[in-house]
Structure 1
Amino acid sequence: MSDILSQAVTELNSKLETAGFDSTAKFDIEGEGSIVMDGEGARVSDDPADVTMSADADTFRSILDGDLNPTAAFMSGKLSVDGDMGVAMKLASVLA
């Protein structure tokens, strides 16, 4: 597992533990792998999800650090979304 994925799982779990996120979302990070988030937390996985968001590692890191708003990343083409846009918006509010 890459350092990016293991660090991201730790950070996402701390954000998700009190968020009450009850859907399934996947971050597909180019060249690194995938992270799935659901009511159980975040884990490295490529399981099916309600929504899949894809970005390069730098964009993902900027979103996770709070330097880049996920909606702005989507609007600028840095983040692609495939699936349920409502779930993506719900996750964006958890990450903010």
Structure 2
Amino acid sequence: MATLQEITDRIKGAVGDDSGLGKSLKFDLKDAGVVHIDGGSVTNEDKPADLTMTLSMDDLLAIGAGSLDPTMAVMTGKLKLSDMGVAMALQSSMAALFSKMR
């Protein structure tokens, strides 16, 4: 199983100089910690974000690997979104970010 640091490093590599999201995003990985993305900054600070996605580390890895569809994850309760409107606006940018993580 991946560590929080390994996931953070993969996200940093995918984000590069700028996430291209135009908004801040936080992955709340429950007991495993958080990954906060704001522009080109990727940290493990638990601070406010425009969109918080709450899910397990395993489910984040599955979405990143393409084996779990994000829409299905939301519908089955595996992925909780703090703001559906922001999530919809960021959908294509997040898909591009996830594909870079593979």
Check whether TM > 0.5: yes
Range into which the TM-score falls when normalised by the shorter chain: 0.7 to 0.9
Task: Extract structure 1 runs of 4+ deviating beyond 4 A.
Answer: none
Q: Where in structure 1 are there 5+ consecutive unaligned residues? A: none
Provide the TM-score with structure 1 as the length reference. Answer: 0.80
Equivalent residues, number: 94
Q: Where in structure 2 are there 5+ consecutive unaligned residues? A: none
Question: Residue by residue, what CA displacement relative to the aligned partner does 1:14-39 show, whole Å, maximum 9, x if unpaired?
Answer: 11126523210000002111110121
Task: Pick the structure with more strand per residue.
Answer: 1
C-alpha RMSD over aligned residues: 2.0
Determine the structure 2 residue equivalent to 1:78.
78
Provide the TM-score with structure 2 as the length reference. Answer: 0.76
Determine the structure 1 residue equivalent to 2:10.
11
Q: Mapping of 1:34-73 within 5 angstroms?
A: 34-73=34-73
8 Å contact kept, 1:24–1:51? yes
Percent identity between the aligned chains?
Answer: 28
